[in-house]
Amino acid sequence: MTTSSIMLDVSGLSKSFVLHTQGSARIAVFDNLSLQVHAGECVALDGPSGAGKSTLMRMLYANYRTDTGAVRVHHRGTMVDLATAPPRTVIDVRRRTLGYVSQFLRVIPRVSTLDVVAEPLRALGTAGEEADERARGMLQRLNVPERLWDLAPATFSGGEQQRVNVARGFVAELPVLLLDEPTASLDAINRQCVVDLIGEAKSRGAAIVGIFHDRRVRDDVADRVFDMSETLAAGGAAA
């Protein structure tokens, strides 16, 4: 793979929400949006609150549906369109290719922090002991205290949960990463740690799309800013 290869190819993307339970209000988010991200490149989404940055991120992960347009991801040698792929294909793309670090950790009762972090590796077939070892390394790096590793993260502080989330998102070294404010509730040391992780991911060829409200972080990691203030669908918010 060359560094110039396209990993994520978004074209003609449109999105609106129709709220049936609230008088069928229709909220247009954006219209005919296109974006390409190459291997080794980090693109920061920018725009005012409500411009649709998080909505776009969720569409890139196929968490939200696409009205029109395509979200093509370089997956196992071909470009797969997540907007039309069947669920089991989307699941395979998420397992092998596309990682997502959200602002909040979705906690599963009784699952330990170490298992939460090691799980993406196990899903790729990494043997249990090796997966655990790499998960420990990642938790150590993000300064999550060792006494917490055997506990479920439900009761952790916001910053601790965020770091568990980052560890989980980076451990499998997936080729495309989506980062929704990965440093939102972190202190300076841990923020730098995440900046380093992003830098390393880029140098191994990962394509990254992120929302970084912290300007210092964005300046450190982003190669390009994608301005979403112009993509707002005609007619504005409500119609």
Partner 1 sequence: MPDDQMLLRVEGVTKSFGAVRACHDVTFDLWPGEVLGIVGESGSGKTTLLNCLAGRLEPDSGTVAYRNRADELSDIFAMSEPERRMLSRTDWGFVHQNPRDGLRLDITAGGNIGERMMMVGARHYGNIRTEAETWMDRVELDLDRIDAAPRTFSGGMQQRLQIARNLVSGPRLVFMDEPTGGLDVSVQARLLDLLRELVRELRVAVVIVTHDLAVARLLSDRLMVMRDGTVVESGLTDQVLDDPQHEYSQLLVSSILQV
- Which residues contribute to the site for partner 1 (CB under 8 A)? 17-21, 58, 62-65, 87-88, 90-91, 108-111
Smallest gap from residue 76 Cβ to partner 1 (A):
13
The DSSP bridge partners found for residue 10 are: 35, 71
Q: Which is nearer to partner 1, 46 or 67 (CB)?
A: 67
Q: Which is nearer to partner 1, 58 or 134 (CB)?
A: 58
Q: Which is nearer to partner 1, 152 or 184 (CB)?
A: 152
Smallest gap from residue 83 Cβ to partner 1 (A):
11
Smallest gap from residue 91 Cβ to partner 1 (A):
6
Q: Which is nearer to partner 1, 21 or 78 (CB)?
A: 21
Smallest gap from residue 108 Cβ to partner 1 (A):
7
Q: Which residues contact 91 (CB under 8 A, 6 or more apart)?
A: none
Terminal-residue alpha carbon distance, the chain: 45
Give the integer Cα–Cα distance in Å for 108 and 219: 35
Asked whether the CA dihedral 121, 125, 126, 128 is positive or negative, the reply is positive
Smallest gap from residue 22 Cβ to partner 1 (A):
9
Alpha helices (runs of H) in 2-101, residue ranges in sequence order = 53-60, 87-96
The residue to which tokens 């300064």 are assigned: 143
Report yes or no: 76 and 70 within 8 Å, Cβ to Cβ: no
Q: Which is nearer to partner 1, 152 or 225 (CB)?
A: 152
| Torsion on CA atoms 95, 165, 172, 99, rounded to nearest 10 | 40
Give the integer Cα–Cα distance in Å for 226 and 224: 7
